[in-house]
Amino acid sequence: MSSQRISIDSENGRYEVVYGSRVLSGAGPAVRSLGANTGVFLLSSPRVARHWRRKLERALRSAGLRHTVIFDDREEAKSISTAELVCRELVRAGADRRAILVAAGGGVVGDVAGFVAATYLRGVGIVHLPTTLVAQVDSAIGGKTGVNLPEGKNLVGAFYSPRLVLADPVSLSTLPSREFRSGVYEVVKYGVIGDERLFAFLEKSMEMLVHRDAKALDYVIPRCIQSKAKVVSHDEREAGLREILNFGHTFAHAFETATGYAKYLHGEAVGWGMIAASRLAARMGLLKTESASRIENLVRQVGPLPDLPAAKPARLMEIMHADKKTRGGQLRFVLSRKIGSAETFGPVPAKLVIEVLGRLPAQPRP
């Protein structure tokens, strides 16, 4: 399959997401084509570097690679102090205002590197090379960057668009199965919020997708990128429409925060969050029970989920009140009325949310 180019409009101009097998080997010319720079700085993590560092450094040499910074990309380490360490290493390596950062990795690498790019010397260019499914279909696109606080996820950050995104399905071959499945939950999300055909494809072909069948990847990934491109090109700063990308995320962030970011991969928490959001929508009479069951069933087909957090609903509610969608202390949720569409609803009565949380089984029901 030849590569596909999908354009994104941002307030800093248009950039492209290029999807295709082996686009990473062409990263050097692609970065060079962005214009002159005073040095390329590769940012990655130990586990990504283990498989890809040599190839990427070779590919980026022709673009002026000067230094590689490796930092911890566990969700627990997605913090201001990790961003500080990266900035300090960049200073020591001589990165100036015309440097280009190249972030190779999953969601945490992209979010931390993006935050560094937005703030280091008040902003330097960044190119994303997402190497996980979550990052290819979601986090590397749309300019959200940030780090967590103990109080909540992504509470410190900036909107900062990359200059280019290169998504190569070959890089998914080295992902542990749990990491890959974590990205599939985000794919399910795109089906629920805006793409009924994708949802139906997943119901039929989940087995192929979780086995990383090349044809399934080539169908699913560009389709998700296109959906995201459409949303963020209309509403980069999340004034409205973009909120739908957070379907399942209000619950998910609470599950992640309540467990110190250590129990779930992000997508797994989103898997649980989508079940909770579907049950909430059904409880509110917005979504047919049968559709809520289809969503729950599809989430279950992705694979096993870690158990729900032991935290009490009251504690989860407290965390949800810090969610970025909360307005004047009133809870708002992205909910679906019908598979293939979603919108933000609020205020949602706390009583209903507590009821849904209290009734979630430890494992999704067959």
Chain positions contacting ligand GLY, by CB under 6 A: 138, 142, 144, 242, 245-246
Q: How far is the CB of 332 from ligand GLY (least distance, A)?
A: 15
The torsion region of residue 118 among left (phi > 0), alpha (psi -120 to 50) and beta comes to alpha
Q: How far is the CB of 11 from ligand GLY (least distance, A)?
A: 15
Rank residues 45 and 227 by Cβ distance to ligand GLY and give the closer one. Answer: 227
Residue 46: what residue type? Answer: P
CA 302 from centre of chain = 17
Q: How far is the CB of 186 from ligand GLY (least distance, A)?
A: 8
Task: Tally the C-alpha atoms within 13 A of residue 117's C-alpha that lie toward its C-beta.
Answer: 29
Cβ-closest position to ligand GLY:
245
* Bond from prior residue into 347 cis (ω within 30 degrees of 0): yes
Q: Which of 270, 281, 280 is nearest to 338 (CA)?
A: 281
* Measured distance CA(326)–CA(92) in Å, rounded: 40
The torsion region of residue 100 among left (phi > 0), alpha (psi -120 to 50) and beta comes to beta
**Number of C-beta neighbours around residue 67 at 10 A:** 16
Residue positions annotated with a catalytic role: 122, 144, 186, 228, 238, 242, 246, 249, 253, 266
Rank residues 40 and 266 by Cβ distance to ligand GLY and give the closer one. Answer: 266
Longest dimension (CA), the chain: 59
Q: How far is the CB of 132 from ligand GLY (least distance, A)?
A: 13
Rank residues 89 and 186 by Cβ distance to ligand GLY and give the closer one. Answer: 186
Rank residues 37 and 148 by Cβ distance to ligand GLY and give the closer one. Answer: 148
Q: How far is the CB of 111 from ligand GLY (least distance, A)?
A: 10
Rank residues 59 and 274 by Cβ distance to ligand GLY and give the closer one. Answer: 274
* Measured distance CA(181)–CA(211) in Å, rounded: 9
| Burial bucket for residue 197 (CB in 10 Å: 0-12, 13-18, 19+) | exposed
| Burial bucket for residue 249 (CB in 10 Å: 0-12, 13-18, 19+) | buried
Rank residues 114 and 142 by Cβ distance to ligand GLY and give the closer one. Answer: 142
* Measured distance CA(206)–CA(220) in Å, rounded: 11
Q: How far is the CB of 293 from ligand GLY (least distance, A)?
A: 25
